[in-house]
Structure 1
Amino acid sequence: MTSATIDDGRFRERFDEFSRIGATDAGGVNRPSLSDENREARDTLVEWFREAGLEVRIDEMGNIFGRREGRDPSAAPVVSGSHIDSQYNGGRYDGVVGVLSALEVVEALNDAGVETKRPIDVVAWSDEEGVRFQPDMLGSGVYTGVFDLEYAYDREDKDGNRFGDELERIGYKGDEPCSADDIHCYFELHVEQGPFLEQADLSVGVVEGVFGFSWMNVAFEGQANHAGPTPMNMRHDAFVATADVTKAVREITATEGTDLVGTVGSVDVWPNAINVIPERVEFTLDFRSYDNAVVDAAVERIENEIQWAADREGLEYELEEIMRVDADPFDDGCIETVANAAEDAGCEYTRLVSGAGHDANYLNKIAPTSMIFVPSVDGISHRESEYTEWDDIVTGADVLLRAIRERASE
């Protein structure tokens, strides 16, 4: 079999160039979905797709596909990619290494003159992070039928900008229908965003599935009053109730399941003044586990805690579950393909599940799917200090190359 190898220099040069788009002073990137920086990243990626000889398609959600044809153009493609939008002041590696690794795979096959039976599609999904337009994984969600197109277009950021309008503004509201094609299988390479691979001193994780999770928006409504003259027994403090619920999250995660994690991630306080009792607090809750029953139990318990906290402070409250995703085991065949590719590459690996959601969650609903993880130093992600050793990224890309080549030859 003709050898195909990752070109470390070309791969690194592209990563470094991409890292300059939306670069922050602290070494991260700021490319939230449909921002001007996100548009520049999209423009750069499309240019690279075309330079690699890929046929570029952009669908109604701004998902970008680059196709390398196979001997049988009617065969279902092997698809691989991730996303290029970032958190606000996020890391350089999250999502990007998956897209650029998939691009480097087709470049390596081109260099070696390898022709596969099946087409290979490299994809960059829109709005994976969900920090500007909620919920996350919006582009892959519409593509796989989880959300409808108009729902996605009507998502608004905090300034009232609609997703559909911003997509049109940056020039990436494509003509292709955003609906799933027949896909042979899907692979996604991603940084782990956790500590386990680094702790085990391993370069590759074979991902067997993804945690299920529940996201909730909560609001407590109390009464603003002067912080000095108002006696403690006459207060209706929305922030005290929020603090009680935050403490309850820690107690629930300690008792409901060994892998359960919970976070109060976003908090807005009104009027947010030093000498005024907080009248309203809006905050988010995030529970995750690989056991759906554990997530369900955590949600039930926190709903009770919210009600009790409101009653204690004499508050009104609002509670909405804005997203619920079940734990998602990946396809056994794709998992074994990745494991075999790691062995063929001569690298030690472990099998693990992902605590973070990925576009692979939704692709797994319509096609056989698995993921490849590479280590995150100190388990850090969604921060500017996010870092992965370059040798580990190249090793992961080599495993991806072997997995894609095997499945595209079927």
Structure 2
Amino acid sequence: MKINDERLWDSLMKMAEVGATPLGGVCRLALTDEERRGRDLFITWCRDAGLTVRIDEIGNIFARRDGRDLTAKAVLVGSHLDTQPKGGRFDGAYGVLAALELIRTLNDASAVTDKPIEIVSWTNEEGARFTPSMVGSAVFAGAIELGKAYGLKDSDGVSIEGALTLCDYKGSGALTKDDVDSYFEAHIEQGPILERNGTEIGVVSGGQAVRWLDINVSGFASHAGTTPMEARKDAMFATAEMASSLESIAKRFGLKGLATIGEISIANASRNTIAGQLYFSVDIRHPEPAKIDEMEEAVRQAFEAIANSRGVIVKIDTYLSIPVTTFDPVCVELVRKAAADLGYSHEPITSGAGHDAINLSRCVPSTMVFIPCVDGLSHNEAEEALPNDVSAGANVLLHAVASRAGYQNQAGA
């Protein structure tokens, strides 16, 4: 049993038209009109496939195909439809539409599973409009309270609850974590490893630890033309030194240590005024629990030492802490076996990015299927995946999910 290559690709390209950007990318920020249109299209396709669609209180979309046992827990499979402001055509949408193609293929074969299979499209995975990221799956998994999620606001002061109401996607309840047997998610790798190794399928063993830090540097604003260099308490130059030290710290931890400054802003910025107050964000990642702790401590010590040497004050707050994630070994093995049985080259891999599967793994057995993306590029309008890889990942997803759901007639199909 194989998926319909052309049908899956056609669905991906049609979804990419919703919020399309001039340079070939996509802008479907969570709960905007563009994403609403993407949601509407997805729901139309689900209903055309005979699925029962439900929407929960945080706007997650669930589309169900019943199994023989109507009391059995569902095998959940999906990803997200929201994108970065200048995102690509495959990040998230691939996992949702590969799940839909899985269902279409089972329908074509009149295949019956013991357990129900339920597609999900999660709300606000990207975190590009509302922070933090992965809000829909976090609420579902119990990591964020619904009321707190409702109060999250975008840069214009619009709350998630307000946006849900405006786009008519504030549901009244659907699936809960207690109704779920397991969770599978297909995704582009968003990195260069699979492509570099010439591997078709990444069998994802888990996700690395992530720490987000908010850094506030307080110096003293004064005139750029009259204040001698030795008399300055320059928040910007202190920040520049901190940024340089951050890069050095990451490199000390080898290829697995990662550090990024993603946001920076100067309060009351002026061309001829020394920066008195500055904010920047730090993102550090590592796949080993002890190492991420070491990295964070090294960052804190370095930043405080720099601040002391320059006569400024630094305040460091932890905004987000995601521990190392280990996916369910039984589900991981189903993905590995599917790839092997189908003849695809495959290798174990750790997810470098955050995904909804990370949240789901806290409450149900979970895993992921990775496919290569061209040049490892993602969160970019030039993001690309090759049709053969798209099909390979969807076929692996099909067989792994069908096996978990109790479809017994795959051999030779």
TM-score calculated relative to the size of structure 1: 0.96
Q: Matches of residues 143-292 of structure 1 in structure 2 within 5 Å?
A: 143-176=140-173, 179-256=176-253, 258-292=255-289
Q: Which amino acid aligns with 2:373?
A: S
In structure 2, relative to structure 1, the CA distance for the partners of 1:107 and 1:178 (3 Å cut) is closer
- In the other structure, the counterpart of 1:363 is 360
- In the other structure, the counterpart of 1:80 is 77
Count of matched residue positions in the alignment of Structure 1 and Structure 2: 407
1:407 to 378, 401, 404: 404
1:32 to 29, 54, 63: 29
Whole-Å separation in 2 of the counterparts to 1:57 and 1:97 = 21
CA contact (8 A) 1:68 1:120 kept: yes
2:327 to 327, 330, 351: 330
CA contact (8 A) 1:257 1:294 kept: no
- In the other structure, the counterpart of 1:12 is 9
Deviation at 1:182, TM superposition (A): 2.7
Q: CA deviation digits over 1:320-375, x for unaligned, max 9?
A: 21111111111111111001100121111111111111100111111111110000
Q: Determine what percentage of the aligned residue pairs are the same residue.
A: 41
Deviation at 1:126, TM superposition (A): 0.6
Instruction: Select between 175-184 and 82-91 the one with higher mean Cα deviation.
Output: 175-184
Deviation at 1:258, TM superposition (A): 4.4
Whole-Å separation in 2 of the counterparts to 1:376 and 1:276 = 44
Over aligned residue pairs, what C-alpha RMSD do you find? 1.4
Whole-Å separation in 1 of the counterparts to 2:184 and 2:270 = 49
Q: Structure 1 unaligned segments of length 5 or more: list them.
A: none
In structure 2, relative to structure 1, the CA distance for the partners of 1:178 and 1:397 (3 Å cut) is closer
Q: Structure 2 unaligned segments of length 5 or more: list them.
A: 408-413
Q: CA deviation digits over 1:271-298, x for unaligned, max 9?
A: 3333221222211111111101111111
- In the other structure, the counterpart of 2:307 is 310
Q: Which amino acid aligns with 1:285?
A: V
Q: Which amino acid aligns with 1:116?
A: T
Deviation at 1:309, TM superposition (A): 2.6
Whole-Å separation in 1 of the counterparts to 2:160 and 2:215 = 23
Q: Which amino acid aligns with 2:217?
A: F
CA contact (8 A) 2:62 2:175 kept: no
- Is 1:50 aligned to 2:39, yes or no? no
CA contact (8 A) 1:60 1:178 kept: no
Instruction: Select between 39-48 and 270-279 the one with higher mean Cα deviation.
Output: 270-279
Instruction: Select between 113-122 and 129-138 the one with higher mean Cα deviation.
Output: 129-138
CA contact (8 A) 2:189 2:372 kept: yes
Deviation at 1:179, TM superposition (A): 4.0
Whole-Å separation in 1 of the counterparts to 2:305 and 2:153 = 32
- In the other structure, the counterpart of 1:96 is 93
1:108 to 102, 105, 110: 105
CA contact (8 A) 1:377 1:387 kept: yes
SS in 2 for 1:32: coil
